[in-house]
Amino acid sequence: MELDRLSRVFDPKRVEEMFDVGDVDRVLVVTTLLICFSAWLWWYVFWTQRNRPGPYEFPVIGLLIQAQANWHRLHDYITDYLYNVDTLRVNIGFGFMAVMTADPANIEYIMKTNFNNYPKGPRLISINQDFFGQGIFNADGDLWIHQRKVAAIEFNSIRLRNFNTPIFNDFGIRLVHRLMEKSMSKSQIDLQELMSRMTLDTTVRIAFGVDLGSLAPTLPHVPVGKSYETASTCSFTRFSHPFWKVEKFFQFGQEKRLKKAVADLDAFAYDVIQKRKKELPDGKFMEQVNEEKDDLLSRFVKMSKQGDNRFGDRALRDIMVNYILAGRDSTSAVICWTMYMLVLNPEALSKVRQELAELMQKQSPPRDWDHLSEEKAIEAFAELLTFDNVGSLTYLHATITETMRLYPPVPLNTKEAVADDILPSGQIVRKGDAVVFHPYGMGRMPYIWGPDAADFKPERWIKDGVFQPESPFKYIAFQGGPRLCLGKDSSYLQMKITVALLTQFFDFKLVPGHRYRYKVMISLIFDDGLPVTVHKRKK
């Protein structure tokens, strides 16, 4: 019986029926095609591009796979290629071409010399539209120009001196009190989360005349802060997600979260706008609280009520969202990276503290700092941080500047070419190309900063005791040309006041074993926060 069964299984005719010649032919054809395709792909990717600078590109998808694989370290990934060649033209994916550059001459040409050929562009505006709307960071042309002119009033030196400095001091003191309380428990805290609370409070207070109370003793949940973080994260994710429009259409995934976060932001913004319109019924500032209501939102509301139809409620909402980005995320990020670098570089920290000690000794009339109570010492030191005194802190200014050279608040910036062009380096730019400059990478380039480019050296900014600025197209943290950041001086003022307060009253220690690295976002923030232990500094 067993022999009969085996003979049937291995019967030649049965085998021929099961595996006919046609199937064999098809297998051979498919195998041959796969071998030929693999050979062609290898030839296209690794042979034809072997002498071309930059990353290998695959047909159609370009750099999409590599970019996704390196997304967690995107800025270092770009830096690796720009390190050897300062300008590249690459296929990001599906024919979307980008010119990436770290050449200061190219950047000056893009941002100043031929500025009109390199606006934000419809592609970038479309990606950010749901979140930023037509605010100043997502606008081109006349709308951008008009918003910038009105906003410039917010950042003049008299206003910084008389209005912003006391507010920065007030919220800096609140931050110090929260840290004093945290130091008692000796448990780790997320310094980045506290910084975000402080800069959110100051931005909303200065620009919109509202006190959110994020730094109240209980550190309450502030919905607008969480909604803003969610919207920012989801909006930026679109850059790495070629099919985000499909998600938006069917409302799932990140796009569903984005819609909910934006709706919450809208509710907050429109509520503030309506209240302000009621406070300014005829478009004039209230005489008794002129300074109190002399904020950015009030000026735009006044223009709206006087017939400027460019500033309806939607436009006012966009302005609010954009300025929260400018004041909250960027400033918070730089303060956090500065404190991180000072912890890693105790010699620089010692020099910052020495400069502060010299400022305290110059106070007239002199104070007996050693015998002040903790509360009195905090108030007295904050009073010392006037507009003029803060401006005299040269080494602190250099320390923050050096931090931004290595960890710029906006690590990547994109424009779009309106017409074909040739950059000073000789690189051809085609109409519709994205033009990307990379402040993060530029700060690490020996061909820009010399062989010690990767080193943290605040002294590189000081000559004969005087701070020496660099070209804004070499040091691109605040951009340059017509789009030079209006809030540069205001940001420096708050950052210097805050870092001075923190270094004067506290010692910070990093948490062993934690990986301190950036998160790929619009602003260069820490991934998983900035956990530290905080200790009161001994007198």
Closest CA to 91 of 60, 51, 49, 134: 60
Say which residues have a Cβ less than 8 Å from residue 443's Cβ, sequence separation at least 6. 405, 406, 407, 408, 449, 453
Closest CA to 301 of 309, 311, 293: 311
**294 burial class (0-12, 13-18, 19+ CB within 10 angstroms)?**
middle
Rounded to an integer, what distance in angstroms lies between the CA atom of residue 300 and that of residue 118?
27
Burial 356-370 (b: 16+ CB within 10 A, else e): beebeeeeeeebeee
Query: Are 198 and 287 spatial neighbours (Cβ–Cβ below 8 Å)?
Result: no
> Could you tell me the sign of the dihedral formed by the alpha carbons of 413, 418, 423, 428, in that order?
positive
Query: Are 91 and 57 spatial neighbours (Cβ–Cβ below 8 Å)?
Result: yes
* SS3 assignment for 322-344: HHHHHHHHHHHHHHHHHHHHHHH
57: how many CB neighbours lie within 10 A of its CB? 19
- Name the CA dihedral angle for 328, 334, 339, 342, rounded to a multiple of 10 degrees: -170
Q: Which residues are annotated as a binding site?
A: 485
- Taking each helix axis from N to C end, the angle separating 254-279 and 122-132, rounded to the nearest 10 degrees, works out to 70
Pairing label, strands 434-437, 96-101 = parallel
Tokens of 292: 């109190």
CA distances from 160 to 167, 168, 370, 466 (A): 10, 10, 31, 22
Tokens of 361: 């000794």
Closest CA to 76 of 444, 471, 424: 444
Q: Which residues are annotated as a binding site for heme?
A: 485
Complete edge-to-edge strand list for the sheet that includes strand 413-416: 87-93, 96-101, 434-437, 413-416
Say which residues have a Cβ less than 8 Å from residue 389's Cβ, sequence separation at least 6. 359
Instruction: Tally the residues of the chain.
Output: 539
Complete edge-to-edge strand list for the sheet that includes strand 189-190: 189-190, 531-536, 506-510
Rounded to an integer, what distance in angstroms lies between the CA atom of residue 452 and that of residue 406?
12
Closest CA to 77 of 401, 438, 387: 438
Query: Are 89 and 427 spatial neighbours (Cβ–Cβ below 8 Å)?
Result: yes
